[in-house]
Structure 1
């Protein structure tokens, strides 16, 4: 039996593995973009709860770019939320200079709220 055969009807090469011919398939090259923390969280969510979507993106070669886009959207939303909350609660550099401990506590609270909103709206949606 030949190690490799070519099927003209579908244009695929097959490799002999034991008693069976397995198609020689390769994924298309995907551009490398960093996925960041938000993309990693969404990837973990997809793997655990949306397995079909995760597998489809992986097989199509679009997973990395999809996760990089999610990361960018999430980061932009997170920063915008923090800025809006700072303005609405009148947290300024003057407060930071006068009372650093209070400023730190309020900023940590705002960051936690913004993180919850981004998780609910984008990451775990």
Structure 2
């Protein structure tokens, strides 16, 4: 949808060359890998551990949700909205 609405020339080129699915799969793979790395690094940096999960699950869930949201914003800016 982003390509179609904001990069119509690129979208049309990928469609004409029958490469849209390949491009989307590549971006998705890169985004998933980057998300995993960022979440792991951010959890480590913020001290969100299995020990915290065992001690206070609600705090752990909140922290992980915040980290995932922040990581998703970073990934979208780095890989999608370029």
Report the TM-score when normalising by structure 2. Answer: 0.97
- If each structure's helix is expressed as a fraction of its own residues, which one has the higher value? 2
Structure 1 spans left out of the alignment, 5+ residues? 1-43
| Counterpart check, 1:111 vs 2:81 | no
Report the TM-score when normalising by structure 1. Answer: 0.64
Q: Which runs of 4+ in 1 moved over 6 A?
A: none
Equivalent in 28, 40, 43 of residue 83 of structure 1 = 40
Measured against aligned partners, the alpha-carbon deviations of 1:30-81 in whole angstroms (never above 9, x if no partner) come to xxxxxxxxxxxxxx11000100100001100111111100000000001100
Q: Which has the larger radius of gyration?
A: 1
Secondary structure at 2:47 match in 1 = coil
Structure 2 spans left out of the alignment, 5+ residues? none
- Structure number with greater CO (CA < 8 Å, separation at least 6) is 2
- Tell me how far apart the structure 2 counterparts of residues 86 and 113 of structure 1 sit (CA, whole Å): 11
Give the CA deviation at 1:90: 1.2
